[in-house]
Structure 1
Amino acid sequence: MADPMNPSTGDQQQQKYRQYNPYQKINLPYRQIYELPTSPEFLFEEEATKKRLSWGENLTFFTGWGYLTGSLLGAAKGTIDGIRSAERGESLKIRTNRILNSGGLAARRSGNCLGSLGLMFAAMESGVTYLRDGDDGSLTTVIAGLATGALYRAASGPRSAVVAGAVGGVTALAAVAGRRIVKRFVPI
């Protein structure tokens, strides 16, 4: 051992022996683990320049969010209807069953309705984008909304299809305007 009173013996001792470090040969890039890049990483340059979703991603996104939103709204409406339709003198089990059945029925109906609307909108938007040679602007979204509304109510007659197309176009226009407002005022 080195003599604490004589520093020269400690230096000689250190030069004779070195400490064993089992991780010396392994270069662990620990800084790369903790210092993550802030921008997205892409394998190919084409992915970095792409600004929109592919048609499959678009289809999945709108269909999934439509079904989820419709199910949640339908479940809330069905639950409220189930609570309102409860009769005096019913047991707790009967009331609970009525509420769950009503909520589940409304959730299925509205989820399927909005999911199919999302599917049609995504298909229309991808088709309109293709027809406009890849131009994915606000006009594409509004045209897809018009076409989706008209197609959804086409079986009910031409008047119903025109009204539904107008409602779809106005809704798509409101979504485009809302997106621009959010981008302008909300720092994301």
Structure 2
Amino acid sequence: MAMESKQGGIRGMFNPYSSADPSVNVPVASSPGLSQISPYLNFDPSYLGTTQPEFIFPEGAAKQRGRFEVAFSQIGGGCLGGGVYGGAIGLFNGLRDTQLAGHTGAVRRTQMINYVMKRGAASANTVGVMAVMYFSFGVLLGWARGTDDELNTLTAGTATGLLYKSSAGAKRCLMGGGVGLALAAAYCLATSRDRLQSLRTYS
């Protein structure tokens, strides 16, 4: 008995609550035959429907963001990606050219910073301009046609390539349109594979 009372006293030091305390006896079921009740919120989870959508959309609205909603974030992402790519190319060219020129110390660091900043800014500007063109064409086509599908993506990509290279002559203009069409087609294949397979099945 002395040993048991001693162990009980030790347990009581670390666990001040006992099973006899009514505050810890929270029922886990509302009544026999019903689902388990949350011991914290005290409601029956079966009352919560699991088949309803997780988000509320206005009636008649699409359940995904349109091209206009994602345009600003993707234009910014394109500028950032272009700047990183251009900065990496500038860093490589700066290391090579300053080594060939025999620059050392502060002179070499300054030249490398110039290489990185100039090439990064030029690449970011180029990608940003093309992104603005692409999303402008895409949004206008979506408003004109009343839908946003793969045809808009292909047309916007082709028109972007044509417009971007329009001042470089007819041959380069057509080449730019072809590159834009190829990139848009690759994007459609990567993002709309299930949709294209379903259309092929129905046809």
Same fold (TM over 0.5): yes
Q: Percent identity?
A: 26
Call closer, same or farther: CA 1:113–1:40 in 2, change over 3 Å: farther
Q: 171-180 or 143-152: which moved more?
A: 171-180
User: Do the aligned residues in 2 keep the contact of 1:129 with 1:140 (CA within 8 Å)?
Assistant: yes
How far, CA to CA, are the matches of 1:152 and 1:40 in structure 2? 42
Quote the offset at 1:163 in angstroms.
1.2
Give the unaligned 5+ runs of structure 1: 1-29, 32-36, 184-188
Quote the offset at 1:59 in angstroms.
2.9
Of residues 41, 53, 63, the one that matches 2:55 is: 41
How far, CA to CA, are the matches of 1:182 and 1:109 in structure 2? 37
> Are residues 1:84 and 2:84 paired?
no
Larger relative contact order (CA 8 Å, sep ≥ 6): 1
> Are residues 1:64 and 2:76 paired?
yes
User: In angstroms, what is the RMSD of aligned CA positions?
Assistant: 2.9
Call closer, same or farther: CA 1:128–1:43 in 2, change over 3 Å: closer
Deviations 1:52-89 (A, max 9, x none): 3252x233133212211110000000000000111365
User: Do the aligned residues in 1 keep the contact of 2:67 with 2:135 (CA within 8 Å)?
Assistant: no
Call closer, same or farther: CA 1:97–1:72 in 2, change over 3 Å: same
Call closer, same or farther: CA 1:156–1:90 in 2, change over 3 Å: closer
- Tell me which residue corresponds to 1:161: 173
How far, CA to CA, are the matches of 1:117 and 1:124 in structure 2? 11
Quote the offset at 1:92 in angstroms.
2.1
- Tell me which residue corresponds to 1:113: 126
User: Could you tell me which amino acid in structure 2 is paired with residue 109 of structure 1?
Assistant: A
User: Do the aligned residues in 1 keep the contact of 2:134 with 2:157 (CA within 8 Å)?
Assistant: yes
User: Do the aligned residues in 1 keep the contact of 2:67 with 2:138 (CA within 8 Å)?
Assistant: no
How far, CA to CA, are the matches of 1:81 and 1:52 in structure 2? 40
Q: Secondary structure at the match of 1:144?
A: helix
How far, CA to CA, are the matches of 2:134 and 2:169 in structure 1? 20
Structure 1 consecutive aligned stretches of length 4 or more whose deviation exceeds 6 Å: none
Quote the offset at 1:151 in angstroms.
0.7
- Tell me which residue corresponds to 1:52: 65
